[in-house]
Amino acid sequence: MPTNKHASFRYRTLNGCFSNRGHRKWTLEELVQHVSHHLQEDFGSDITVSQRTIQGDINIMRSAKPRGFDAPIVCEAGYYFYSDPTYTIEKSALSKDELDILRSAIGLLRLLPGLPQLPALQMLLKRVDVGNNLNTLSSTSIQFESNLYVHGLEWLGTIYKSIIEQQVLQIAYHPFTNDPLEILLHPYLLKEWRNRWYIFGRNSQDQLWNLALDRIQKIKIAEQVQYIENDLFNPETWFNDIIGVTKPNNAQPVEVQFETSYLSSRYIETRPIHASQHLVHQENDRYRFSLTVILNQELVNELVRYGNDLCVIKPTSLKESVEKIVGPR
């Protein structure tokens, strides 16, 4: 297809005319005036096009790929339009290999429980003609770690949509250890940790909160409240120095050291607890690891999974927290 920037612009402008949702039909003179107007707006007032140029553009758009677009442009009684009102040159065709990749990707997504099934995704599938034959992957060929019985999955779609559309949420929330709360939240991020989902957002006191979806009792859109965009945290870096989802206020990362046996060390090396983890010492059957993180309950829970086979060396506060659960070594 021609690469001239004006030609490409003209094709897209003509495409906008022919795919007009009101099914308007255009005379050649109207097309010349319309394209000239848009060219002048974008490239300068001295640019004009002739009827011959527009007729040439129409012929190229009608021609077969790769020269043209196979556009179904017809002319009846001097009026030009698409015979297929759903056609657009903006719709790029996918090859068979690309369609197979897309089908597999959608099949994988469908195996993940709780993902919002957004109408926009379904519309996209129909547009690229992969709405059918998506059952190429199933739980007999691949299985993800999941818990379909976790409470709160029903809120995922509503919350995700509110983040995208920047809507404030009024949430009825019941913590495990406190009375029920009514919370106004400006939602910014959904995050999963250990098969539980959490929503991060701004509360009415301009504080960053995270709420567990399994403790949400009701959600509705607070339509009268102006949404405030996120300036409280960077989701891409916020979790770099913690394990899990909890970051205590004003806490700083500290070095954590612990020892394990050879067998546990194999699990820990192949599935690191944190990105900063490294082996600092090995003697006989004891392996000492170090990592630098902010102390929180999720770190404690991660370490106690290894029971008495893991011994915290430092800091003392973490050692005491772990030994309260698994006992002293």
Q: pLDDT tens digits for 57-98?
A: 999 999 988 788 889 999 999 999 998 888 888 765 566 666
Q: Which residue has the higher pLDDT, 296 or 19?
A: 296
For residue 247, how many other CB atoms are within 10 A of its CB?
A: 16
What pLDDT score does 5 carry?
63
Q: Does the pLDDT value for residue 38 go beyond 80?
A: yes
Mean pLDDT within 275-289? 93
**Res. 138: pLDDT tops 60:** no
pLDDT tens per residue across span 223-243: 999 999 999 999 999 999 999
The residues with which 314 forms a beta bridge, in sequence order, are: 257
Domains of the chain by range and CATH?
5-82 (1.10.10), 94-146 (no CATH), 153-221 (2.30.30), 254-326 (3.30.70)
How many Å apart are CA 225 and CA 191, to the nearest integer? 24
Task: Say if residues 11 and 84 touch (Cβ distance below 8 Å).
Answer: no
pLDDT recorded at residue 16: 87
**pLDDT above 70 for 303:** yes
1 pLDDT band, cuts 50/70/90, is very low
Q: How many residues does the chain have?
A: 329
Q: Is 112 or 32 the better-scoring residue by pLDDT?
A: 32
